[in-house]
Amino acid sequence: MAKAKETQRLIANNKKAFHDYFIDDKYEAGIALHGTEVKSIRMGKCSIKEAFVRIENGEAYVYGMHVSPYEKGNIFNKDPLRVKKLLLHKYEINKLAGKIKEKGYTLVPLQVYFKEGKVKVEIGLARGKKLYDKREAIAKKDMRRETQREFKVKNL
């Protein structure tokens, strides 16, 4: 009996979230979409750079996620920036709502991808970075890049 290989195809990545926040926890959520939106996402026309997640009335919604209109969708196309519902278990939503009430926590989408034919969104429970934290992260990245460069030169 062969195991089915789990396939994941990345559509959109939010690098800005890793720069602006410390990611404490990650959750995988489904997303409620219409047909033309799924076709557009299949073509890779999705952006989550300015997106954020809110919990309202016991349900999670993603705001600011831009899904470009499908070219052949005509009247069936929806608003590119419409609010989309995230599909999470009730206990996950309650856990996240409790964490968000703590000072400094927020929910940000980290990436959008296809998993076994379904669109999934990875959301992160995040704490905001201060300016000195960002500078420290940039300095570490520069040092790591410099050591990689030196290592490469030595091994030639």
Per-residue pLDDT of the chain (156 residues; tens, 9 = 90+): 455 556 778 888 888 888 888 888 899 999 988 888 888 888 888 888 888 888 888 898 999 888 888 777 777 677 777 888 889 899 988 888 888 887 778 889 998 898 888 888 999 888 877 777 778 888 888 888 888 888 777 776
145-149 contacts: CB < 8 A, separation 24 or more?
none
pLDDT at 79: 74
**96 neighbors 107 (Cβ within 8 angstroms):** yes
Contact residues for 79 (Cβ-Cβ < 8 A; gap 6+) = none
pLDDT at 61: 92
For residue 62, give the nearest of 75, 73, 44, 49 by alpha carbon: 49
In terms of pTM, does the model score above 0.85? Answer: no
**53 neighbors 123 (Cβ within 8 angstroms):** yes
